[in-house]
Structure formats: C-alpha cells, structure tokens
Chain A
C-alpha cells in the first residue's frame, strides 16, 4: 500500500490530541501499554482482552446458566484443590499479561508459586504475568475465541494445561502440553469419565458431574485425587525442589 505523509492540517490539533485519551473500542490495534492506558480512561468497560494486538471488549452483562453458575462450580473445584495443595494459587477471573500483544482475562487460572517452579508470577502492579500451569475458560460454544485464537496463543506462550468448558454444548476440552512436540494434545478421560491433570497430579474432574451441576460428585472425585499417592508424591517433589 502506497502511503503519503500526514497532511498538515492535522498538526493543528497536536496540543488537543495529547490531552485526549481515545476510548477503548473493539478491534482497535494496540500494544499492551496503550491498551491499559485507554482502558483505565474508559472505566465503564469492565472486561476487555488484547489478542495478538487486537482489542476485544466483553459484554458487561453476564449470563447466569451460561457463565456465572458454571464458573462458580469451577472455582469451588479449584479452590478445593488448593486447600490440599498450598503450593499453588488460584484466581478467578483475572487479568493475565502474556506478552506485549496479549493481555487476556481467563475465567480462572491456577499457578504454582515461583519457589515451587511456577512460571507465572504476580507483578508489581498486582497482575498475573507469564504462563500459568492451568487456564480454565467457560465458553458458550465451540465458536468462541476461547477455542480459536486464544487456544493457539496459550499453546504458543507456554501454558501447561488448558481446560475449556463449552456450556451450551455440554462438552469439555482439556489440553495438555506434549513433552516431545511442545504442542497441546488432548487429555483423555479415564474409562469412568474422569479427567486427570498430568501437570497437577490429583486435580481430577468428573465431567458428567460438572455438566449436571452435581457438586457432590465433582468434589468427591477431586477428594479421591487429592488423597491419591500421586498427589502426595507431587507435593513431596515440590517441597524437595524448594529446599534445594
């Protein structure tokens, strides 16, 4: 594309321009600093993401059955894992700085504390920065950006495991990082329908229980995980590592 220099009349407005912070808008092409600057100047926007340098503003309204309620169950599940695994931290929903062009707002993240080898840290502005051990998104359907652009970026930028609950479709996708290719592959459930995290031993999820909003089954299955030998060994490994 041929482009000429800016026409002169626009220079008249330079002083006016420096005071004016444009509002954050869908589809804007920005870097991280400008994204935060405009967002902070647009307080009515409660949720926004920067994906490969492009802004996506989320609807302020949150649906009950499609989002709020499923996320609450995920939070309880993760919170109970943390109860038995104090080496990790959990946050729901949270701003996550991945790099200069990617600032996401996942529904939930779980990270190992740095002294136990975690790759995501809480920075001086109190934002999570880096690749968490686990990211969870609650999506309406498989066409959500959670299953397209964001999945590829989580994979590229080092997230260890990625779980997407597609509520309307009643489906769960759980990806883990393959050690040889460094790419996401699907984590397959056991024959009784239980997903078992490979990065976070003991983090077990009963998918049918989740879909049925069955707290008891979800938490009972998790308790089997956190009481398992693999969970005990995992915690021992983390403690040994921090003492090294």
Chain B
C-alpha cells in the first residue's frame, strides 16, 4: 500500500540528512550515507535491512574478553602468513546486510579465500571465521546474526556469551551451521583453520596461561604446518 501524504511545498528541514536510528528500514547506500553524516556513531549494523546500534561498551563483559580473543586469534595468525584479522570492521554481505563483527579472520588469497577488500576499503563477502562477544543468550549474535552468517556462508562462527560463561562454535556444513563438539577436555579445534585450538573452560575461567598453552599445542601439529604450506604454495 502506498503511503498517503500531504507534502508541503516549503520545507526548511529538507536538506537535513536523517540521523541513523535503531530499527530504521534502509538499504546499503542509505545506511552508509546516514552513518557517514553522523560520525560520532562508532558501531552500527544493517541486519536484513534493519539498523542496530550498540550502546557504550562495558569493560568486564565486553572490552576485556574481546581483547583476550584478539590476542588468542592474533597469536595464531602471526604464525600463518596469508591470514588477516580485523577488529570491529564492517562486512558487506549484500544490499541489506552489513554486520560489524567483533573479530573476523580471512584467508587473504583470491584462490583460497571467499572475501575481498573493495575500493572503499570495506570487506566484502563472508569471512572464513567470525567471532562475537555476546552479553547474553538473548543477544542478536545468537539469533538474527547467527542466521545471517549461516545463510551467507561464514565457515566458522565462534560466540562467547560472557555473563553465562558459554562458548558456542558453529561450523557451516551442507545443511547449515552445526555446533562443533569440544574434546573431553573442553578443547575446540577449528576445522577450517587447523591448529586453531581453544580451551573453553580456561577461557571462561579467564585462565589466560592455559588458553595460550593449548593454542601452542595446536600450532605444533602437523596439520597446522601443512595448512601454512598450502597457503604459501598458492602465493
């Protein structure tokens, strides 16, 4: 149904670019136009055409766990040339969806990776790995964005629900996301990134030493070595 309206001839507010608001129904271009006109907004996402913005970031339930994940993932990528990590970067999935995940890791090679960095310096396409820090099981990270990442073919999706001390690691199989099962000792082992091991119990308990010891074990495996070699051969 078309909206009925009375449009006025004179409109002093005509040239104002409307502010970005939660729940706005926008496409990619209008989303970026409004956001660029409101530079104080640091975090905004377009999920299936709907705008979501975040409030201020909390220390223990977000900033600190985020840093721990960044360090863990960075330690892995540092040993594997050809992998790139980005923090809080906008990902263009299509005209209706531009999430801004906490962390992404991509394979930076045309023949192996499924993303590209476009002329505006935004990441396009589904990253191989997405990591989100969630504030509860009701978070959109575990609902709307789970569906989005699944549908667009993010290969692996790791969510740390901090207050509820829960880790979910999804792997995209033929029928969509399945939860990766940890080993007996609560260690998750990535299927896409051999050697990317995460001791979930140590992580939720903030036992950083054990988190990095387990990652070191992963980095010493033959699978990791052959993965690194396979990327190197492509380059």
Contact = CB atoms under 8 A, between A and B. Distances in A.
A114 interface: no
Interface in A14-60: 16-17, 20, 22-23, 25-30, 34, 49, 51, 54, 56-59
B110 interface: no
B6 A189 contact: yes
B197 to A, nearest CB: 15
Contacts of A66: 13, 16, 19
Contact of B175 (A2, A51, A56): A2
A59 B163 CA distance: 25
B interface residue count range (under 10 / 10 to 19 / 20 to 34 / 35 or more): 35 or more
A143 interface: yes
Interface string B49-69: 010111100100000000000
Nearest to B8: A170
B140 interface: yes
Contacts, number: 161
B139 A171 contact: no
A187 interface: yes
Interface stretch (A3-11, A115-123, A221-229): A3-11
Nearest to B45: A27
B214 interface: no
Interface stretch (A76-84, A90-98, A145-153): A145-153
Interface string B127-165: 000000001101110111000001000000000000111
B225 interface: no
A198 interface: no
A168 B16 contact: yes
Interface stretch (B76-84, B100-108, B112-120, B178-186): B178-186
A186 to B, nearest CB: 3
A171 B13 CA distance: 12
Interface string B21-33: 1111110001000
